[in-house]
Structure 1
């Protein structure tokens, strides 16, 4: 008589599933981004992500852990262009950093490919404390502190936060709430008006 296959513990993914590799992990992340985008953080569940990805919930937990950790992984992938900001913005002198940061930030929002996941991230962060904490941890650690370090002034973090508040406020009004005429004005006009303000936050005495 052939030995029966060993039973896997409850809630654990099968060997076949765990051996699926990077493609399965990427599929779960893609499903997570879509679920968070459509439903927001609170209404998204690990089970829903698993169903959308065509796997069982145990496999989502195997790769990412909790829903908060899935959200953070999905944010990091979707937010990847913005995480390049320090390298791109900090090249060159500090004299033009306000314009470079403004143009870079608005450029990400102008791109439909990056705008869709960013909208999902912002909406989730606004309505849920857990999502907001994840978003804040990612942005502060990987973007704001690196820009603040480049300024080399005692109040660098405050300066960067003020500049970020200016830019995020514009993004909310232009891309999320869509207040006119800001929502439809040419981006270059916005850059021309806002960049000097951002520059002032970052470098003025």
Structure 2
């Protein structure tokens, strides 16, 4: 009996190989190659693409190309471009979730400085700056991206901070404080207007802290 024959002498069928890979699914090679999973690569690629090009000019095809996957795989994991953007910015926004806790842990008269230092720490760190650039650049130019950004800021920052500053105007106080810092970040890191873009962070923190502190805890104008 030869290796290709069965016990009755009839030719034995060769073992079935893996079936054809369905479009939009990761291959076995990709899953076992030791590189980051496809979903992680897509999210990282999306952050870079949105940071460099903004929401309107970024494309599923460009995101897939940089992640070394088929565009169908991006749709398989995330669906639309809006959903890719939301996944990318939610992942990037994760470090900001500790912000309200850090501010809450400070004494009331130190809350402004704690919030300013926390926000500057995010922007000055290259690991978190690029995702934040992706969020802000996209939100400035596209209403869909702005809505996603607005929801993230409201849920994860403003609403949580407002719990630490009770009162009828708590949300307004926090929104004004956050607006002060978002506006500064826009001019410094996105538009890069001088001399703000090149100013020493400690100098800016010292200038912004009293303003942010007033928004959070100062007397309201009557």
1:113-134 Cα offsets, whole Å, 9 max, x none, are 2222212221111011111111
| Counterpart residue number, 1:158 | 172
RMSD of aligned alpha carbons? 2.4
Q: Are positions 1:73 and 2:87 aligned together?
A: yes
Higher Rg of the two aligned structures: 2
**Pairing 1:138–2:162 present:** no
The structure with the largest helix share of the pair is 1
Once residues 84 and 114 of structure 2 are traced to their aligned partners in structure 1, the CA distance between those partners, rounded to angstroms, is: 32
Alignment pair present for 1:89 and 2:103: yes
> Secondary structure in 2 aligned to 1:79?
helix
Q: 2:24 aligns with which of 5, 10, 13?
A: 13
* 2:139 paired with 1:128: no
Moved over 6 A (4+): 1-9
User: Structure 1: where are the runs of 5+ without partners?
Assistant: none
Pairwise mapping of residues 17-56 of structure 1 onto structure 2 (< 5 A)?
Answer: 20=31, 23-56=37-70
Please tell me whether the aligned partners of residues 133 and 190 of structure 2 are also in contact (alpha carbons under 8 angstroms).
yes
**Structure 2 unmatched runs, 5+:** 1-12
Match of 1:106 in 2: 120
